A = this chain, B = another copy of it.
Amino acid sequence: MGKLLIVGTVAFDEIETPFGKTDKILGGAATYIGLAASQFDVDSAIISIVGDDLPQEYLNLLTDRGIDISALEIVKGGKTFFWKGKYHNDLNSRDTLATELNTLEDFNPVVPEDYNDADVVMLGNLHPIVQMGVIKQMKKRPKLIILDTMNFWMDNALSDLMAVIKHIDVLTINDEEARQLTGEYSLVKAAQKIFTMGPKYVVIKKGEHGALLFNEDQVFFAPALPLEEVFDPTGAGDTFAGGFSGYLAASDDNSFENMKKAIIHGSNLASFSVEKFGTERMISLDRKEIRERLHQFKKLTQFDIELQ
């Protein structure tokens, strides 16, 4: 049982899709990462910041799953980070209608003593300076540091981003961001360029088109499960990251072969996450369903071809 340290937002989301809309519901990268990772045998903790407007029941959802939230700072009189977005009809693109940083503006993450020797650190999408601050507090070098980021930081804090990328093992970004970061259209070339920036592994997320894992001259591809209904894509990428990091922390094996399995576990959990609004599906999810869908993943991609 490995120790997983998760850094990221715990937030209010208000979501509109072609199928309906929500009030303010529980969201945030750390939330999705934590819920997904809790499907594996890990000790996990979330570092984040919220206001005291976040209902206790939301925090209970996390602690009920064994997630340590002692480093989740609750600011008295503060307001929780809020995101409001509307998805277009194809669910592949969305407009951000509101972003209120609130307590996140003064976020100084403090790594709890129990977790400064974590095996795996999963740095969810946040300002790269905040991500760096967490790495610096680790008492010993984690076996694996995974960082997720987005184009916003490439546009607005590129040098900070490059500084933290130097210290990580795995970078997870989407295909457009990989192209933006490297100036290479070919994802093969983009991954090779990212290797020169520090990471040994690159995971390129392609949404409904799956995910690619690169390491040196090796590449692995995991499809997204073709679904009849995609209800709400919010949190799919973070759920993927949570499954990926949670599986790796639980199995204590960071070989390429094991990372392939971690990619499949991440894709598998993400396929559930999009079936309902927000975290709803992840909260009701049990391990039997997860196992059954892993079978589907295997059937989806495995073939037997004669190779002389």
Contact = CB atoms under 8 A, between A and B. Distances in A.
A97 interface: no
Contact of A206 (B186, B209, B257, B291): B209
Q: How large is the interface on A (under 10, 10 to 19, 20 to 34, 35 or more residues)?
A: 35 or more
A281 to B, nearest CB: 17
Nearest to A301: B301
A219 interface: yes
B209 A209 contact: yes
Contact of A185 (B90, B220, B294): B90
> How many copies of this chain does the complex contain?
2
Nearest to A221: B223
Q: Which 10 A-B pairs have the closest CB atoms?
A: A209-B209, A221-B223, A188-B228, A260-B303, A301-B301, A188-B226, A221-B300, A261-B305, A186-B228, A187-B226
Interface of A: 89-91, 185-189, 206, 209-210, 212, 218-223, 226-230, 257, 260-261, 264-265, 291, 294-295, 297-305, 307-308
27 contacts: A186-B228, A186-B229, A186-B230, A188-B226, A188-B228, A189-B228, A206-B209, A210-B210, A210-B221, A212-B226, A220-B299, A220-B300, A220-B303, A221-B223, A222-B303, A261-B303, A261-B304, A265-B305, A291-B307, A294-B307, A295-B307, A297-B305, A298-B303, A298-B305, A298-B307, A301-B301, A302-B302
